Amino acid sequence: MKARVFIRGATERDVAAIHSLDATLFAPQDQFSVRRYRYLLRSPHAITYVAERNGQLVGSIVALIRRSQSGRVSGRIYSIGVARAEQRRGVGARLIKRIEHELRLREVERILLETRAASKRARSFFSMHGYQVTGDLSRYYFDDDGVKMSKSL
Contact 59, 14 (CB under 8 A): no
Given this model, what pLDDT does residue 64 score?
Answer: 96
Q: Which pairs from 46-49 meet CB under 8 Å and 24+ separation? A: 46/78, 47/9, 47/99, 47/102, 47/103, 48/9, 48/10, 48/18, 49/7, 49/8, 49/9, 49/10, 49/95, 49/98, 49/99, 49/102
Contact 46, 75 (CB under 8 A): no
Residue 148 burial (CB < 10 Å; 0-12/13-18/19+)? Answer: middle
Q: Is the pLDDT of residue 1 over 60?
A: no
Q: Is the pLDDT of residue 13 over 90?
A: yes
Average pLDDT over residues 131-153: 85
pLDDT band at 119 (very low <50, low <70, confident <90, very high): confident
Query: Percent of the chain beyond pLDDT 70?
Result: 97
**Size of the chain in residues:** 153
Given this model, what pLDDT does residue 70 score?
Answer: 87
Given this model, what pLDDT does residue 3 score?
Answer: 77
CATH number, domain 5-112, options 3.40.50.150, 3.40.50.720, 3.40.630.30, 3.50.50.60: 3.40.630.30
What are the CA-CA distances from residue 75 to residues 18, 27, 28, 114, 119 (Å)? Answer: 21, 24, 25, 12, 22
Q: Mean pLDDT over all residues of the chain? A: 91
